[in-house]
Structure 1
Amino acid sequence: QVTKLVRDAAKSGDFVDVDEFQHADAFERTSDRPAPYNAYTTGAKIRQVGGSDKVDVSALKFGDAPSGGTDAASVTVALGEPLKYDYDAAKTAYHRSYGGGTKTNDASGGEVMPENVVVIKTDVNEIPGTADAAGAPSVDFRSTGSGEVVILRDGKRFEGTWSRQGSEMYAFRDASGATLLLRPGLTWMHIVSTTTDVR
């Protein structure tokens, strides 16, 4: 069902489809983890395979820090295992730890440190008839409409609302309706249940 939605969106021009099945040469697999979690590519390879095909896409909005916010040097997202972000003022980015380990770039070996962390809260529902062999069902995350958002940047926590229509990019606003801009740099987004604790 999901695959059909993706294929149909590509055919209608919502995006350029550069998948591993049709463009195997653009991908490579490593031996350090099992498939399908070991497939990698690069921006250069994707652009080469995509050729001259182009689509207009909306983008996240970046700029100066919004006013307000609360100091938050450390924030935990309550997932299966606690996901923790610790702010590093010298690097103006966040150390990320999950299950006790940090995230590293497999190519460079360096730590992956996002300048922004965005936690989008939304409705999550099981999709009937999609359970795998272990009994775990697929779930549907509502990705349009609006809901609560928590944004971390510059060592501060900003709370507001997210909104999105169709295939547009997410927009973030504070309680007054002003746009919550992100710091230019790497942005890590988490889409979680409305009941997920962010503390």
Structure 2
Amino acid sequence: MTTAHRKLRARRARHRSSAGPLLAALTAAALLAGCTVTGTDGDGRGRDDGRRDGQVSAPPVGSVLAVKIDNVSAARPQTGLDAADIVYAEQVEGGLSRLMAVFATEFPETVGPVRSARESDLELLRQFHEPTLAFSGAQGKLLPLIDRAPLRAETPEDAEDAYFRGDEKPIPHNLYLRPDELIDSPPGADALTTGFRFGPAPAGGAPEDSRTVRYPAARFTFTWSDDSRRWQVSMDGTPTVTTDDTRVAPATVVVQYVTIRESRFHDYLGNNTPYTETVGSGRAEILRDGQVFDTTWKRKAPTDGTSFTTTDGKPMNFAEGQVWVVYAKA
């Protein structure tokens, strides 16, 4: 155990009479497997300080739940992904991908596998009012930034009763969250302060039956289904189906072209962590109703949502239902 972990546990021990059995089990399992579980991201370093004064300690009214979801092949099939209102896809180390699922109108019983956070997540989540971020840990030097961010950060160490390990996948791809252990009930659609507009499709779309977005070591394909009126998701060439055999199929897909640059952080192998810039402007392709629409996206400040306008300058409407936003390199 690192010195940082000892300090943090000592601090929390003053507020809790005992550490529960789940945390002990998680820590022991991680040590046996040579992996980290909470407060770390593969480099063995944990939180180096406690929460700052004023950090959000309880979910406010209208707080969305954002969960970092593992997306390597060993983590699939995922659980609860179909219940998310929004799924963000971002590039991470080694050209792989990771997901952030945002829940506001419905909480599934279980979500996962849960994995670690990235610096880009903090900027992305500023659009929501004090969101709850559920994640397994983070790179040691990033943790102080998470502590200072205007969000409620919840790892297994922070909320041990909310997490559990499944037995169908190996560590670290088997950590799951019970959302109702963090927030009593979904806050509702009003908490989705993304700037997205929903309504009838505008004119000017071109027919589209399939679109693939590629990262260096991952790819997403969205195929239009006339029967379900949804875009069926495949990842790395395999249909995306949840553990309860539900095909993941959003109503709208946003391919948003952004700057993806190097960050100040690296993983335990020395690979640089990409930073996805979600504030600014650029082009985006919106898939809905079997069509693709060329649009421009704009987000002036971190606390703003993102607006999308068509080539004639009119607001772009999304189809009602789940939205996937895939960040592609401009």
TM-score bucket (shorter structure): 0.7 to 0.9
Please give the secondary structure, in 2, of the residue aligned with 1:138. Answer: strand
Cα deviations by residue, 1:146-193 (Å, 9 ceiling, x for unpaired): 111111111110111111121222211112221111111111111121
Q: Is the CA contact 1:161–1:174 (under 8 Å) kept in the aligned structure 2?
A: yes
Scaled by the length of structure 2, what TM-score is found?
Answer: 0.51
Match of 1:7 in 2: 147
1:124 touches 1:140 (CA, 8 Å); kept in 2?
Answer: yes
Residue 47 of structure 1 aligns to a residue whose secondary structure is coil
User: Structure 1 residue 57: deviation in Å?
Assistant: 5.7
TM-score between both structures, scaled by the size of structure 1: 0.81
CA distance in 2, matches of 1:43, 1:188: 20
Identity %: 24
| Counterpart secondary structure, 1:127 | strand
Structure 2 unmatched runs, 5+:
1-140
1:58, distance to aligned residue in structure 2 (A): 1.5
Amino acid of the residue matched to residue 310 of structure 2? D
Q: 1:93 aligns with which of 218, 225, 230?
A: 230
Residues of 2 paired with 1:16 and 1:133: CA distance? 26
One-letter amino acid of the counterpart of residue 279, structure 2 = T
Partner of 1:149: 284
- Are the structure 2 counterparts of residues 34 and 138 from structure 1 closer, same or farther at C-alpha, using a change threshold of 3 Å? farther
Q: Which residue of 187, 192, 210 maps to 1:74?
A: 210
Q: Deviations over 1:54-97 (max 9, x none)?
A: x9661332221122111001111122344211100111101112
Question: Aligned letter for 1:90?
Answer: D
2:271 aligns with 136
Q: Structure 2: how far apart are the matches of 1:172 and 1:127?
A: 27
- Inter-CA distance 116–46: structure 2 relative to 1 (3 Å threshold): farther
- The CA deviation string for residues 29-50 of structure 1, in whole angstroms up to 9 with x for no partner, is 3233344443332443332299
CA separation of 1:134 and 1:93: change in aligned 2, threshold 3 A: same
Match of 1:197 in 2: none
Contact 2:223 2:232 (8 Å CA) reproduced? yes
* Alignment match of 2:251 (pick from 103, 109, 115): 115
Report if aligned partners of 1:26, 1:49 keep a CA contact under 8 Å in 2. Answer: no
How many pairs are equivalent? 185
Runs of 4 or more above 4 Å deviation: none
Does the C-alpha gap of structure 1 residues 2 and 65 become closer, same or farther in structure 2, counting only changes over 3 Å? farther
Report the Cα distance in structure 1 between the residues aligned to 2:308 and 2:207, rounded to whole angstroms: 19
Q: Does 1:104 align with 2:244?
A: no
Q: Which has the higher helix share?
A: 2
1:162 corresponds, among 297, 313, 319, to: 297
Q: Using the alignment, how far apart are the partners of 1:185 and 1:84 within structure 2?
A: 18
Larger Rg: 2
Distance 1:146 1:4, change over 3 A: farther
1:98 is matched by which residue type in structure 2? Answer: M
2:221 to 60, 84, 109: 84
1:184 matches 2:320: yes
Aligned residue in 2 for 1:58: 193
Question: What is the root-mean-square deviation in Å for CA atoms of aligned residues?
Answer: 2.5
What secondary structure, in the 3-state scheme, does the structure 2 residue paired with 1:5 have? helix
Q: For 1:40-59, list aligned pairs within 5 A.
A: 40-48=176-184, 58-59=193-194
